[in-house]
Chain A
């Protein structure tokens, strides 16, 4: 952008070159995904939100792999999960995985903050940064038994990792609810009506409890994510059970890995996150608060009835990268079953330095990150998804532009310096619109943190100020 300004300023430049540079600038502006998208600074991952459920949903050809992470923080004795499952599950269809795979995908897809440092308008200079890398692995399994109980049929019991898992089918919701309570699964009151609608659809129940002995033996500090793989035409994420008796809105992140393109819910509206918003540089210190405030405002605007798209991207590359792309092994661990691995695929070399492109054979994987806040009232139905053919890349990206602070030594710089206050005011307004924060408070923080906005006192009070801002010796 600054080099283009330079070219246009030279008096001898030919009209064709000028037109070409303008065209190039427009092309860059039109396809920001393909250009350099700023230095990665920070991300808004799921840890920002309390009691957020994280789900990875892999889907292709009626086959689904669902990975569920709970952020359960209480006594493991109290933990119980009841999930309606469209099919019976064999033991091989159940797996316990490590949180780090979800964390990696979470980090990779999180909305990101990037910063640009304005170059000296009189010269060219470049800056580089690097992002570190990570990776690892693990697994476990065990043997079954069989039982019968009135009204409730125990179709299978498994011990997988630190969990005792039971696959149930039921004839009556009362019976099921009683059985669950008798066996130490605490389900909320009023769940029986929800269970009834599932029972009538011939759905099985996947029920998991923590086996305390195995949990202590494993030495894990947290409850690991559970995965189930099954085949069903239903592409549904059941959320109704979670909303029974929930007093507060729940937060849910769905990260979907598909082969063809982006997924979206068919029964709720999808709204894109505001992106490419330029905000004042001081937000770098307050990015988590900013993101939470912005999301709160979005949810309020949509009356808590929309699902928000935070990221939709081809998994082979990223720009900027909030984390390294996932390796084939990590993707397979998360359930991407159509990827080559082992003998047929190429095993990636460890310690890759790549920042933007994964140096392994192209994986046909597209990731969609959806974020929603819901209550039983605003989201009465389970989420029903569909896969579209849309492979357009989208990312939640927020931009900081640091003004150039060095000495100004050429006449072209005057227009740059004169334009700064207007730009900074626009950033302040953008932030106020996104978060609902008080505009004056923002201006105050932006002014204080930034110090003098330019090398010349003439910058203060330049175009963009209202006439009355210069009255009464206001401290700006």
Chain B
């Protein structure tokens, strides 16, 4: 069962790496950070996420249970969400995973689940909040190494949006400080924020809720960075990029229409028939092999999809 090829496929799946990285970061937060993630809310979030994924999948007839995206959402949520109430933690997980099924435009879910859940619940309830400062700047470099290493190892196709977002975000921070003639130490300090790294590597990088085309993604990253800057420096509210991402996600269908590109899919290994594209705008991708698929195959790692039919994975 554990053939070398199977192990290689397992390791090459960026989702597995991401789950591992997020679980590891949760552990770090448990162990080293006051006001970090805690085991009890994580347990509640895991249970609620998986249960919602399973139940909603049954309701819409989505085929075999696919836990990976729910796990990613759950670990990501646990890292960012702070609450003393297990009920609110579970409710946030329910809202996050549920949004994947409930809020769809032309077959594609609109919001990154963790992002949507966090923004909605923190806006509605005092009992849940985000601690942007908890990661400090010491963890920054360690996390950067892990995250960047992840990109290298798995050759994920969506690293362009992560890098573009960080570049635009840095440009805004340094630009603003330059305009105010603030010392360099200030934007350097602001960019060394672990929450921003988590956002860049695990939230905005979501390939299923960002535009299909590269130019669309760059535009998306620019809009999110600008939106985040607006919330932080004009409205003076914390966690600007989270709100910006939710709002800019509303524009994804429009961006896809104006700047079309090939749909993201998890490609099967060579020699096996390609799985049908899930939730892709069908008028854009012709059935069967097409020249448009080849460059994507080179970038997207091979992952086997069990069974056929629609699979609601993120």
Q: Interface residues, chain A, CB within 8 Å of chain B?
A: 193, 196-197, 200-201, 232-235, 260-261, 264-272, 303, 305-306, 309, 377, 380-381, 384, 386, 388-392
Contact = CB atoms under 8 A, between A and B. Distances in A.
Nearest to B233: A201
13 contacts: A233-B236, A260-B126, A264-B131, A265-B133, A266-B132, A270-B35, A271-B34, A305-B138, A380-B189, A384-B238, A388-B129, A390-B82, A392-B84
Contacts of A388: 82, 129, 131
A436 B43 CA distance: 38
Interface string B165-191: 000000000000001111101101110
Given A306-B136, A381-B186, A389-B128, A266 B35 contact: no
Given A381-B186, A389-B128, A270 B133 contact: yes
Given A260-B126, A267-B189, A380 B135 contact: no
A29 to B, nearest CB: 17
Given A268-B136, A270-B35, A384-B238, A389 B189 contact: no
Nearest to B33: A269
A233 B232 CA distance: 11
Given A197-B180, A264-B35, A390-B84, A380 B129 contact: no
B93 to A, nearest CB: 18
Given A197-B182, A200-B179, A380-B185, A389 B136 contact: no
A197 B238 CA distance: 20
A196 B181 contact: yes
Nearest to A197: B180
A380 B35 contact: no
Nearest to B85: A389
A305 B136 contact: yes
Nearest to A389: B126
B180 A380 contact: no
B34 A381 contact: no
A271 B183 CA distance: 26
A197 B183 CA distance: 10
Contacts of A235: 236
Contact of A234 (B35, B127, B182, B236): B236
Contact of B133 (A201, A234, A266, A392): A266
A384 B235 CA distance: 13
B237 A233 contact: yes
B129 to A, nearest CB: 4
A305 B138 CA distance: 9
Contacts of A266: 132-133, 238
Contacts of B188: 380
B137 A380 contact: no
Contacts of B189: 267, 380-381
A381 B182 CA distance: 9
A377 B33 CA distance: 23
Given A197-B181, A267-B189, A309-B34, 11 more contacts: A193-B181, A234-B236, A260-B126, A264-B133, A266-B133, A268-B133, A272-B35, A380-B188, A386-B132, A389-B128, A390-B82
B173 to A, nearest CB: 11
Nearest to A303: B138
Contacts of B134: 269-270
- Nearest 3 pairs of A and B residues by beta carbon: A269-B136, A389-B126, A380-B185
A305 B134 CA distance: 12
Contacts of A267: 132-133, 189-190, 193
| Contact count band on B | 20 to 34
A414 B82 CA distance: 47
B127 A389 contact: yes
B133 A269 contact: yes
Q: In the complex, which of the residues A260, A377, A386 has the most CB atoms of chain B within 10 Å of its own CB atom?
A: A386
Contact of A233 (B83, B135, B186, B235): B235
A421 to B, nearest CB: 32
A299 to B, nearest CB: 14
Interface string B209-239: 0000000000000000000000000011110
Nearest to B194: A269
Given A196-B180, A272-B34, A305-B136, A389 B129 contact: yes
Among A197, A265, A306, A309, which residue has the most Cβ atoms of chain B within 10 A?
A197
Contacts of B133: 264-270
Listed residue (A271, A377, A381) with the most chain B CB atoms within 10 angstroms of its CB: A381
Contacts of B132: 266-267, 386
Interface in B109-155: 125-129, 131-138
A320 B127 CA distance: 26
Contacts of A380: 183, 185-186, 188-189
Contacts of B138: 303, 305
Contacts of A270: 34-35, 131, 133-134
A377 B185 contact: yes
Nearest to B88: A389
Nearest to A380: B185
Contact of A386 (B183, B185, B190, B238): B238
Most buried by B among A261, A264, A267, A388: A388
Nearest to A385: B238
Contacts of A200: 179-181
Given A268-B136, A269-B136, A271-B34, A390 B129 contact: yes
Contact of B137 (A260, A305, A377): A305
Contacts of A265: 133
Contacts of A384: 238
A28 B182 CA distance: 51
B127 to A, nearest CB: 5
B256 to A, nearest CB: 34
A98 to B, nearest CB: 32
Contacts of A377: 185
A126 to B, nearest CB: 34
B17 to A, nearest CB: 27
A208 B239 CA distance: 35
B194 to A, nearest CB: 9
B244 to A, nearest CB: 16
Contacts of B193: 267
Contacts of A390: 82, 84, 129
A306 B136 CA distance: 8
A26 to B, nearest CB: 16
B20 to A, nearest CB: 25
